[in-house]
């Protein structure tokens, strides 16, 4: 409170003070957000094991997150599959005119990274925005306060079903979308670079490390999307305009979370699985 009272005085003292003040305020809000996310995550985990669950809530969320994202995810991943193979084909063409490794290498990349990361980025735009808009409008219309008044923790009632559903459906969706990306990639490879099906559909470069890395990413992203967007939704304030802001922040923060998680998981996997 006293900070806000001092704010105009600090602004008067010149641009450097104002900049430092801004920087400090931003750092503080970042720390706050980190703490809020952590506490939400812990409470979600707690209620996952200890909470009481409404019958069918998880199934409903699974339909909402899974089935309704399937078409969108398949279209985007189908497109990216074609683009990826086309670009890497062009890239290969410049050094070695040998396309026998195109399919296996692409599959390895897909399993290890692209299917999970690009798929999750797409999911965060659809699922993350949906969760934040839903919870945000509940906050703004005071339905969340009503839940608290009825002694139902909004985390237990709203976040946990989405968390469980997203954990499972993200993995399922990514496996389906990754398969589609691989198949559309084959279409490009056979039309533009004359790659035969035998050479393309080969799993010789996949090892346990790739599969574990990919699976870890699916689970990590599946957990991150509902937590981050749920946090953005729950911290909505300021009426209907606030819901728009919450949605925007959810999409941006989910994407950011995915990219940062990707960096750490990939780095760890590189250190663990590469001798």
Partner 1 sequence: MSAAQPLEAPKNSGLTNLLESIGGSALAIFEVVGGMTVLFARILSRLVRFQFDLPEFKRSLYKMAVKSLPIVFVVALFTGAIVVIQAAPLVKRISGAESLLGWGAGFGVLREIGPLLTALTISGRVGANNTAELGTMVVTEQIDALRALAIDPISFLIVPRFLGIIITLFAMVLYADALALVGAAYTGQGFLGVTPRTFYDGLTTLLHFSDVANGLIKSIVFGLMIALSSCHFGLATKGGAPGVGRAVNAMVVAAAAGIFIVDFLVSFVMG
Applying CB under 8 A, the residues found at the interface with partner 1 are 72, 75-76, 79-80, 82-84, 86-87, 90-91, 94-95, 105, 108-109, 112-113, 117, 121-122, 125-126, 129-130, 133, 136-137, 140, 239-241, 243-245, 247-248, 251-252, 255-256, 259-260, 262-263, 266-267, 270, 274
Give me the helix-helix angle, 2-12 and 15-50, nearest 10°: 150
Residue partners of 136: CB distance under 8 A and separation at least 6? 232, 233, 236, 242, 243, 246, 247
Per DSSP, helices labelled H in the chain are 2-12, 15-50, 57-62, 68-95, 102-109, 115-123, 129-140, 143-149, 154, 160-193, 197-200, 208-234, 239-273
The phi-psi region of residue 201 (left if phi > 0; otherwise alpha if psi is between -120 and 50; otherwise beta) is beta
- For residue 52, the minimal CB distance to partner 1 (Å) is 29
Give which of 167, 260, 179, 255 is closest to 215, Cα–Cα.
167
Cβ proximity to partner 1, 136 vs 230, nearer residue: 136
- For residue 9, the minimal CB distance to partner 1 (Å) is 26
Cβ proximity to partner 1, 61 vs 156, nearer residue: 61
Cβ proximity to partner 1, 82 vs 169, nearer residue: 82
Cβ proximity to partner 1, 156 vs 243, nearer residue: 243
- For residue 269, the minimal CB distance to partner 1 (Å) is 8
Cβ proximity to partner 1, 220 vs 243, nearer residue: 243
- For residue 185, the minimal CB distance to partner 1 (Å) is 12
Half-sphere exposure of residue 231, counting CA atoms within 13 Å on the CB side? 24
Cβ proximity to partner 1, 46 vs 273, nearer residue: 273
The phi-psi region of residue 152 (left if phi > 0; otherwise alpha if psi is between -120 and 50; otherwise beta) is beta
- For residue 11, the minimal CB distance to partner 1 (Å) is 19
Give which of 111, 130, 228 is closest to 171, Cα–Cα.
111
- For residue 51, the minimal CB distance to partner 1 (Å) is 27
Could you tell me how many residues make up the chain? 275
- For residue 254, the minimal CB distance to partner 1 (Å) is 8
The whole-angstrom separation of Cα 141 and Cα 4 is 28
The whole-angstrom separation of Cα 6 and Cα 112 is 51
């Amino acid at each position: 409170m006293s900070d806000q009272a001092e704010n105009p005085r600090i602004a008067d003292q010149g641009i450097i003070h104002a900049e430092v003040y801004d920087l400090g305020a931003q750092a503080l809000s970042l720390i706050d957000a980190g703490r809020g996310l952590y506490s939400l995550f812990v409470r979600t985990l707690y209620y996952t094991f200890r909470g009481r669950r409404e019958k069918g809530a998880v199934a409903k969320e699974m339909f909402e997150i899974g089935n309704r994202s399937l078409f969108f995810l398949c279209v985007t991943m189908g497109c990216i599959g074609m683009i990826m193979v086309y670009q890497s084909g062009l890239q290969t063409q410049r050094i070695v005119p040998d396309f026998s490794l195109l399919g296996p290498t692409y599959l390895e990349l897909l399993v290890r990274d692209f299917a999970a990361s690009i798929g999750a980025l797409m999911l965060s735009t659809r699922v993350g925005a949906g969760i934040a808009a839903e919870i945000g409008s509940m906050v703004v219309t005071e339905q969340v306060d009503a839940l608290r008044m009825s002694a139902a923790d909004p985390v237990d009632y709203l976040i946990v079903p989405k968390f469980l559903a997203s954990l499972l459906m993200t993995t399922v969706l990514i496996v389906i979308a990754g398969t589609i990306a691989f198949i559309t990639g084959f279409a490009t490879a056979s039309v533009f670079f004359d790659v035969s099906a035998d050479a393309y559909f080969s799993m010789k470069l996949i090892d346990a490390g790739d599969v574990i890395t990919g699976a870890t990413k699916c689970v990590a992203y599946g957990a991150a999307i509902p937590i981050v967007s749920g946090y953005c939704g729950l911290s909505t304030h300021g009426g209907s305009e606030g819901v728009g802001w919450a949605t925007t922040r959810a999409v941006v923060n989910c994407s950011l979370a995915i990219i940062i998680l990707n960096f750490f998981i990939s780095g760890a996997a590189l250190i663990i699985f590469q001798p």
